[in-house]
Amino acid sequence: MLGNPVLDCIMGRRSIRKYREEQPEDEVLEAVVRAGQQAPFAMQMGSLLLSRDIDANVFRAPLMFTVCADVHRMEKVMEARGWKRTASDAYTLLFAVQDASYMAQNMVIAGESLGLGSCYIGAAPFMVSRIRERYGLPDRVFPLVLLTMGYPAEDPPVRPRYPLEFHLFEDSYPEMDRETVRRAMEIMDSGYLEQDYYRKANYMIALPEGMEETFDFDSYSWTEHISRKLGLWGGDHEEVLRNVRRCGFRVCGEVEDSTDPQAEGDRKTGRGRTD
């Protein structure tokens, strides 16, 4: 594979869960955040919350960002221009999630280039009430993901990835036959087993009562772990929607009918303006 300083930085990046207590200097923090701002965007609907409280931060990280999908700020810009948003929350929130995601990954790579380690924490959407209270969030700001960052106090290996042929599909999506899936699973599982990842972490998702455990740490690996996450967790559709609603978004059952001729006329004539 081709190599250069940027590619080497990306290919060598690992999730870091142990940090030195040293706080990055403000100029380092500014560089990381500015790099995030320079990411591609649809409408710049991503914003950041920052905590430097090591005792409160996940993994006792010196820096913990909450990356937000921020529609509220865009609404303030529209208000200043005399406009009111008529785009649905579902439509707008999807663009905000894209903007926030691009921004976050730019920050990760920028931090890596400056010697900082990082780790995404995907639980933020399920911590909505706590995050809203802590930071005094207005409506239509959705905590998308936590991002810890600091100087690493560990040196883990790079984790495995699917083979390219299981990831890149040119011209058409292929049939996922058993042999193709088996080869991809083998690459992932053997890589994690070689690193003894789950044994070292002492982490195996427990099966519900009545299900027989057939794995031990000699066989339990990534594909079983992720299958258990999606096979045992997250079945409450309403839990996700409740947290979206807590942030002031209406994304289910309350979307404007795009076939309504009056609504379509309003969009074309600019009647969504407030002036």
Stated pTM of the model: 0.90
Residue 255, pLDDT score:
42
pLDDT in tens, 201-238: 999 999 999 999 999 999 999 999 999 999 999 999 99
Query: Which of the listed residues 96, 120, 150 is the one where a domain comes to its end?
Result: 150
Indicate the DSSP class of residue 57. Answer: S
> Are 198 and 70 in the same domain?
no
CB count within 10 Å of CB 50 equals 14
Confidence of residue 251 (pLDDT cuts 50, 70, 90): confident
Find the angle CA(152)-CA(158)-CA(159) to the nearest 5 degrees: 120
Mean pLDDT of the chain: 92
- Beta pairing partners, 145: 67
Nearest one of 90, 95, 36, 92 to 63, comparing CA atoms: 36
Cβ(121)–Cβ(58) below 8 Å: yes
In a domain, 185, yes or no: yes
| CATH of residue 23 | 3.40.109.10
Residue 219 belongs to what domain range?
Answer: 164-235
- Statement to judge: residues 9 and 133 lie in one domain: yes
Please tell me whether residues 17 and 117 are part of one structural domain: yes
Find the angle CA(219)-CA(220)-CA(224) to the nearest 5 degrees. 125
- Is pLDDT above 80 for 268? no
For residue 118, give the nearest of 150, 153, 161 by alpha carbon.
150
pLDDT recorded at residue 253: 62
